[in-house]
Amino acid sequence: MSKFSIVQAIRERAQPEATALVQKDRSLSYRKLFERCDALAALIRPHLTASPDRVDRLRVGVHFPSSLDYVPLALATLAADTCFVPIPDELAEEEKRELLARTALDYVLVIESAAAWLPADSQRLGDFELNGQKVLIAKVPPQQAAFPRDAFEALNPAFIRFSSGTTGKSKGVLLSHESLLQRITAANEGLRIGAGDRVLWVLPMAHHFAVSIVLYLYHGATTIIEETHLGEDLLRAGAEQKATVMYGSPVHYRQLVEAPDVAQWTTLRLAVATAASLDAATAEKFRARFGRDLVQGLGIIELGLPLMNFGGAVEAPEAIGLPLPAYECLLKNDDGEEPPTGDPGEICLRGPGMFDAYLDPWLPRAQVVDAEGWFASGDLGKRDAAGRVFIVGRKKTLINVGGMKVFPEEVEAVMDSHPKVQRSLVEARLHPLYGEVPVAKYIASPEGAPTSMELRTHLKTRLAGYKIPLMFSVVPELPLTASGKLKRA
């Protein structure tokens, strides 16, 4: 009996002549998408060999630019019965080699112009053309797997992605074909994406393909891939392509609300913000301009999209909202109990489509969740009187100032609202009296940096005195993870 395949599930549901993908003047119907997927799988499969005694399936890395062509290439790796491992473009060469080693990759599909990072003793087995770009099929040197190969295979693995690593060492998150289906089904109870939807896509494929794109394909929608992230380009693409849904980060929405009036986007029914904290000002500007709520959601690689702020986008736009029907959410304080309304606690989640294992170090899901199946996210949240959840920080980033708790994210949000601050990072510094104090570094706006006094005055209007950084430093750039989140020490 063959194992369940998410690619086959999408194929069986697809309306062949419906449009699956659009990028500028190019498009693919679902029929053409799967014809291309099958053709690529046929090109790749003869080069993929494993020893007769091997118990686990091959792992294939894909290093290809975000584009229409990424989709059939990624589907082809799954159709070839391998485990798909996306390799983000923005990683440094050493980071790509580390990903290769930690996932024990067997092969890499990489455009020739970006292949310099491959280990010197990699073998070039063949190549093929994909939209004018030469893609190499490379066999990489054998890697020692840090995980049990038989347990890996028993999960029916589809996809490995490393979490952003905002605190400590990032972890490889493994999802099975079955968990992918559960996850996209549960998420769509809130999103309600269907065959009539046209989704404007602005996020990197390597970070979001295996959940978001798979969800759109499974539910028969059209994905519109926009090449640039400039506000006026997003507005023009949304209007010209008659997009009904947009799923992006607050950065995209900030650019969109400030864009010149180059088009009228009247078909939008749902706008979802995720990946970073949404500020109230952007949400209000979006509503004023487009007549639609900007709905924040909690996107988490271990679980998918368990919370969304559908009912509170007007009253509390900065909330991540309430659990979708398939999920449950608890907040737990240091005593393991739900804190009073307004007090912080760790966000704990339970529901379908949870990750199957951490890859390195190997930890099956059963060893990560508690006895009742709750996953501790590491995010600290609080509830308002309506039960809506707000993220207030990461458990590991909390700064303890003489017993008073400071959440860096809260301070950063206020700093970032200063007109002369582009982005900030608040961290702890040891202090002989208070134990820890907050300090800040930030990227100044092109107009110039504010004085320390200006910043303190700005912060005092919205924060308690102990939350105001002791020192401010202007820097040319801040450390970021591959997905654009702040990387914290």
325 has a pLDDT exceeding 50: yes
Confidence band, pLDDT 50/70/90 cuts, at residue 277: confident
Q: CA-CA-CA-CA torsion for 65, 68, 69, 72, nearest 10 degrees?
A: 120
Note the pLDDT of residue 1.
Answer: 60
DSSP3 helix / strand / coil % (the chain, rounded to 5): 30, 30, 40
Mean pLDDT of 387-400: 84
Q: Within 13 Å, how many C-alpha atoms sit on residue 89's CB side? A: 11
What is the residue-wise DSSP string for 51-112?
A: -TT--S--EEEEE--SSTTHHHHHHHHHHTT-EEEE--TTS-HHHHHHHHHHTT--EEEEEG
Least confident of 14-28, 154-168, 453-467: 154-168
Q: Report how far residue 419's alpha carbon sits from residue 449's, in angstroms, rounded to the nearest whole number.
A: 10
Strand order in the sheet with 357-358: 123-130, 133-139, 107-111, 59-63, 83-86, 157-162, 172-176, 357-358, 363-364
Please tell me whether residue 140 adopts helix, strand or coil conformation.
coil
| Greater model confidence, 275 or 243 | 243
Please, which pLDDT band fits residue 167 given cuts at 50, 70 and 90?
very low
Tens digits of per-residue pLDDT, 437-458? 999 999 999 889 999 999 999 9
Task: Please tell me which residue, 359 or 277, carries the higher pLDDT value.
Answer: 359
pLDDT value of residue 435: 74
Q: Does pTM top 0.85 for this prediction? A: no
In this prediction, residue 168 carries a pLDDT of: 41
Give the pLDDT band of residue 482 (cuts 50, 70, 90). low
Q: Rounded mean pLDDT of 123-143?
A: 96
Contact 342, 382 (CB under 8 A): yes
- Cβ neighbours for 169, distance < 8 A, ≥ 6 positions apart: none
The domains of the chain, with CATH numbers, are: 22-143 (3.40.50.980), 178-395 (3.40.50.12780), 398-474 (3.30.300.30)
Three-state DSSP state, 178: helix
Q: What sign for the dihedral angle of Cα 331, 334, 338, 343? A: negative
Q: What is the mean pLDDT of residues 296-312?
A: 94
Query: CA 57 to CA 68: how far, in whole Å?
Result: 27
CA-CA distance, 108 to 141, in Å (whole number)? Answer: 11
Mean pLDDT computed over 335-349: 94
Model confidence at 162, pLDDT cuts 50, 70, 90, reads: confident
Note the residue count of the chain: 489
What confidence tens digit (pLDDT) does each residue in 60-118 have?
A: 999 999 999 999 999 999 999 999 999 988 777 887 898 999 999 999 999 999 999 99
Q: What is the pLDDT of residue 403?
A: 63
CB 238 within 8 A of CB 228: no
Cβ neighbours around 255 below 10 Å, total: 19
Structure tokens at 119: 């280990």
Q: How many Cα atoms are found within 13 Å in the side-chain-facing hemisphere of 482?
A: 23
Contact of 393 with 408, CB cutoff 8 Å: yes
Write down the mean pLDDT value for the chain.
92
pLDDT attached to residue 483: 67
DSSP 3-state of 392: strand
